[in-house]
Chains A and B, each alone.
Chain A
Amino acid sequence: MDYAIEAEGLRKRFGDTQALDGVSLAARRGSVLGVLGPNGAGKTTAVRILATLIQADEGTSRINGIDVAREPGKVRETIGLTGQYASVDELLTGEQNLVMIGQLLNLSGKQARARAKELLAWFDLTDAAKRPAKTYSGGMRRRLDLAASLVGRPSVIFLDEPTTGLDPSKREDMWGVVRSLVHDGSTVLLTTQYLEEADALADEITVIDKGAVIAHDTPDGLKRVVGGQRLTVRPTDPTRLDDAEALISDLAGTRAERTDRGVVSVPVSGDEVLGDAVYRLNEAGIAVTELSLHLPSLDEVFFTLTGRTEAAAITQEVHA
């Protein structure tokens, strides 16, 4: 099998914290590997090791077959990294940031400016090209950061939570960029806290928690384990909860669960069930404040995989 990214048994300790406790990852050339996990799971540590920023205590990793620990210089020639925090120089303009990276990659001044122009256009930053990056919005900074990591046309790209903190429309834009990178033959390792995002982009998903891999599968395989789409209903009048529960159990052909106070939820297959639910609830005279069809949240994935609910506490903190 032709793997662009391979890591075996990575361990890394920071003081008292075992950030990685034997993580193995692999991504086929030209594919997207989604690394899913809550904050503090070790996603960023794994990316930093693979991108040569820090060294693992134990374990080996190879990028395009090159050992990361032995030949970091060679690895750096083939990778692009977009960190969790947009690492652009705020005092430089968008264009100056990209030209600088180009010159550091040994492009001539002219070549570097041409490449910068191309990337600025692709990421819709041409109008802002001459403005210092500190005047950019969060989404613009992310785009500039991603553009900076693509100056050298890397064949392996690490995207560490590229959409965290972006609003939904910008998130879709970012997904489009990832798809076009893969279309052009790059291999992408993407970390995320959203199953939805991993499902939308990844060919395979590795779930990590507390520095260890707890699942590895295709998105479909993972959804078979953790459950596919769920229909969730929250009646406006809490006394109608029993009625709502009976109704959606009947609709889905399986027993609904009370997943939260005043909420019932049931696994369903197919989108058409949403229309039926609206019709049946209306017919029964049950007003709802929430009616949704969604993939399991990270909390639910972790609950299914580990039987623990700590992930819920952690992610709530992050979103707060």
Chain B
Amino acid sequence: MSAALALPRHSLVLAKRNLIGVLRNPEALIDVTVQPMIFLALFTYIFGGAIAGGSQQDYLQFLLPGVLAQTVAFGAVAIGVNLNTDIEKGVFDRFRSLPISRSAPLIGAVLADIVRFTLLCVVTIGFGYILGFRAATGPLEVLAACGIVIAFALCLAWASVFIGTIARTPGAVQGIVFLIMFPLTFGTSTFVPVDTMPGWLQSFTDINPLTHLIGTLRALLLDQPMGNHLLWTFVSMAALLVIFVPLALRGYGRRA
């Protein structure tokens, strides 16, 4: 078999391993299934009326793209924690002693996340429809939104993978990644329009990649103007890959 195809093939074998793990441990999917449902229901019915000045329906329309992005951010925690656990348990020692590329186990783990984030889109939009969410656009735009969500999630996953390779314990990975994701998910337009925030905070929301992801999703799902959101979303995805893929590979290679 050709050497050039070895990396994708090995990565797929290892992705399958991760998926079997998910199937055996369905509770590992809570963060991309139950959690977005809770956030949708919680914010729509408890805070929605107050935030949107009475109309929970209008608020649900505004909220759903934000919850998609927020769940992507928090859903990234799992991959770093799992990776760190694998390293700690010695499973990765086996992979590292095999004649396969050192990146294959990491790529395999990221590929397996496609399934998790596809599930996230289906559950969040599906549950949103039950609550009364309606996309203002056609099925193609909705599919495009899901595609962007998944692609962004896979890029962001590398940051968590990097933390997973350098942190000492799975608990530490969880703590660090959550700490990074909190300001990113709240310092943006997930729950409220950014123009209600003070100026200094708006300068943060402007450079927050999630602001542009949410902007892109609102454009695709609610037929709002796209502006530069899609461009900046692609730029931040590329930046995540350029920065964190080499760091993650280096961290993994150095891990004794």
Contacts and interface: CB of A to CB of B under 8 A. Distances in A.
B99 A81 contact: no
Interface in A29-57: 48, 51-54
Nearest to A109: B13
Contact of A87 (B13, B17, B94, B100): B94
Main SS class of interface, B: helix
Interface string B83-115: 000000111111111111000100000000000
A76 B98 contact: yes
B78 to A, nearest CB: 14
Contact of B24 (A51, A74, A86, A132): A132
Contacts of B100: 104
Contacts of A188: none
18 contacts: A51-B97, A52-B97, A87-B90, A87-B91, A91-B20, A92-B17, A92-B20, A92-B21, A100-B13, A100-B14, A100-B16, A101-B98, A104-B14, A104-B98, A106-B1, A149-B94, A149-B97, A152-B98
A77 to B, nearest CB: 4
Given A14-B256, A89-B91, A91-B21, A105 B98 contact: yes
B21 A79 contact: no
Contacts of B94: 81, 83, 87-88, 101, 148-149
Interface in A53-91: 53-54, 73-74, 76-77, 79-81, 83, 85-91
A88 B25 CA distance: 17
Interface of A: 14, 48, 51-54, 73-74, 76-77, 79-81, 83, 85-92, 96, 100-101, 103-106, 132, 148-149, 152
A91 B25 contact: yes
A77 B99 contact: yes
B6 interface: yes
Given A87-B90, A104-B100, 14 more contacts: A48-B256, A52-B96, A53-B93, A53-B97, A73-B99, A81-B93, A87-B93, A88-B91, A89-B17, A91-B24, A96-B17, A101-B94, A104-B13, A105-B99
A43 to B, nearest CB: 15
Nearest to B100: A104
B250 interface: no
Contacts of B9: 103
A44 to B, nearest CB: 11
A52 B21 CA distance: 27
B101 to A, nearest CB: 9
A132 B98 CA distance: 22
B24 A85 contact: no
Nearest to B23: A91
B13 A76 contact: no
Contacts, number: 73
Contacts of B20: 91-92, 96
Shortest Cβ-Cβ A-B pairs, 5 listed: A87-B90, A76-B99, A91-B21, A81-B97, A77-B99
Contacts of A80: 97
Nearest to B86: A89
A132 B24 CA distance: 9
A104 B8 CA distance: 11
B87 to A, nearest CB: 10
Contacts of B256: 14, 48, 53-54
Contacts of B6: 106
B210 to A, nearest CB: 32
Contacts of B24: 91, 132
Interface string B138-156: 0000000000000000000
A86 to B, nearest CB: 8
A92 B16 CA distance: 10
A42 to B, nearest CB: 13
Contacts of B91: 87-89
A87 B86 CA distance: 9
A77 B6 CA distance: 14
A105 B20 CA distance: 20
Nearest to A134: B24
B215 to A, nearest CB: 39
Given A91-B25, A106-B1, A79 B17 contact: no
A83 B91 CA distance: 10
A25 B185 CA distance: 55
Contacts of B104: 104
B99 to A, nearest CB: 4
A89 B21 CA distance: 9
Contacts of B99: 73-74, 76-77, 105
Nearest to B1: A106
Contacts of B21: 89, 91-92
Contact of B89 (A54, A85, A103, A148): A85
A177 to B, nearest CB: 18
Contacts of A101: 94, 98
A150 B10 CA distance: 19
Interface string B24-62: 110000000000000000000000000000000000000
A129 to B, nearest CB: 15
Contacts of A105: 98-99
